[in-house]
Amino acid sequence: MFSKLESFWCRPPVYWLLILLLAAATPLTFAPYYHFWLMPLLFAAFIRLLELRPDVRTRSAYLFGLVAYTVQFYWIHTALHNISGLPNLYALPLTMLLPAYLALFPATTVWLWNRIRLNRWLHTGLALPVFWTLAEFARERLLTGFGWGALGYSQIADHAPLAGFAPLGGIHLVTFATALLGAWLVLLVDNKGRLKKRLALACAVAALLFGGHIAKQTDFTQPTGQTATVALAQGNIEQHLKFRNDQVLPTLDRYFRQIADTHADIVILPETAFPVMLQELPDNIIAEFAEQARQNGSALAVGTMQYTADGMNYQNAVVNLTDYRIGAANIPFYAKNHLVPFGEYKPLPSLTAPLYQMMDMPLSDILHGGEAQKPFPMKNQQVAFNICYEDGFGDDLIASAKQSTLLANASNLAWYGDSNAMFQHLQQSQARALELGRYMARATNTGATAIVDNKGRIVAMAPTNTATVLKEEIQGYQGETPYMRLGGSLPFIGLLSVFAAVFLAVGLKRNR
């Protein structure tokens, strides 16, 4: 019966339709839906289809990636067309450009996997998860990287046992565990071997899930005993108004009123809350913000653009105004280091300059802030900041996190309207909180403004696309997770690379 069903699946119209449907369903596994249980099943079905049609495996993987990344990242079109005003003649093909590039990674993975010959238990049960994880790592690193949509992020959810691997080895270990689970489900269901093999595989699946669950319950970092109330201002400034000259004062007034009405230990304003260069703001305005926060007993951090010390470049920064006084020469700041290609700098300026002239994107070619910047001392916490896109790169945050008791992200996702982008970004913050064993405070312009605890759970979230202030008590944490002690993903990725080299050496030799 099962073989007849698979023969039906192999028919080209059915086969390609199944590939499309599996890929189209992948957004349901990520935020805001959080159907984490669905990803291993989708991945298992995808693997089985690849096994059934070895003649079209690479094409199948490319189509799967193209469709999956297109439906996951549809909000690129929102930023290009709806917000930036780029005509659809350009916006539609540019929207497809990123998925078309990202799909090369699963296609390359499957091409390599198809080239080697191993017994099925090694080929499907181990080699494919190893290759897939290495490809996801490469996708996160090449050309500054884009790791959104990795299998592991689908497991960053409240009741997902595999999320427990995040503090052990980071998001790539979670990706590997998810790929293993999908591959082992294939072998468990479609296995003509003896009962002992099925039982062994069932035990392996149970051990994987149980191991993740135990790790998730384990406390790798410790409370400092110091709690603080954190207030996150959400200005809800529409992107097309954000940098208009006639909107500067209304924007400043909105944020000032939010600060004035808020009594908290720590107050954080989102990315570019000050919509002009910091040095172009009169000292008395900056001082009014700082003084109002002091009167309320608050330490204050604000997102802003600023010129570098030589005045020749500028940075995307968060400034600590807690101790600011008029005439202060140096304001403590954190400057964004991991920049967005084509958004904050132009990798190919000669080719892309005409497109920037068509779009309302005034900020580009921003200077890197540098690695391992120190946390801000704010009340009884040491707050390690990152800005927007940086929250997708856990390895980059380790050095600052080691010195911190609280993590904070300042973002402006108004570029993507009321899309899933803000929730996918929130899920990355959940992953970082798990990896680094600390609370994460997210101050955003339009959403998702939230407080995430050290276990990756959302403990409070503001309504999106609303001007509001989210206030919540947090607990400071100290210590290091195993992932932090390892220094990031590289040791685990190095181990997988050794396995991959062995599989290639043995598998290619057998293929000759």
Instruction: Tokens for 252, please give them.
Output: 């400043």
Residues noted as catalytic: 271, 336, 388
DSSP 226-242: EEEEEEEEE----HHHH
**How high is the mean pLDDT of the chain?**
92
Residue 143's pLDDT is: 81
3-state secondary structure 395-410: HHHHHHHHCCCEEEEE
pLDDT of residue 360: 52
How many CB atoms are located within 10 Å of the residue 433 CB? 27
- Annotate 155-170 with DSSP letters as a single string: G-STT-GGGGGHHHH-
Compute the average pLDDT of residues 150-165: 98
pLDDT attached to residue 435? 98
Domain residue spans of the chain:
1-219+489-510, 222-480
CATH of 222-480 among 2.120.10.80, 1.10.10.60, 3.60.110.10, 3.40.50.150: 3.60.110.10
For the stretch 460-509, pLDDT in tens is 999 999 999 999 999 999 999 999 999 999 999 999 999 999 999 998 87
- Tens of pLDDT, residue by residue over 185-223, are 999 987 676 777 888 899 999 999 999 999 999 999 999
Q: Say what the pLDDT of residue 363 is.
A: 45
With bands split at pLDDT 50, 70 and 90, how would you rate the model's confidence at 512? low
Residue 248 and residue 277 in contact, taking contact as beta carbons nearer than 8 Å: no
Question: Given a cut of 50, is residue 21 above it in pLDDT?
Answer: yes
Name the residue among 235, 224, 233, 321 with its Cα closest to residue 278: 321
327-332 mean pLDDT: 82
- pLDDT tens column, 352-410: 556 555 555 544 578 888 888 999 999 999 999 999 999 999 999 999 999 999 999 99
Rounded Cα distance, 148 and 162, in Å: 18
Question: Could you tell me the pLDDT band of residue 4, with boundaries at 50, 70 and 90?
Answer: confident
Residue 338: band (very low, low, confident or very high) from pLDDT cuts 50, 70, 90: confident
Give whole-number Cα distances, 60 to 68, 147, 337, in Å: 12, 21, 37
Q: How much is the pLDDT for 364? A: 56
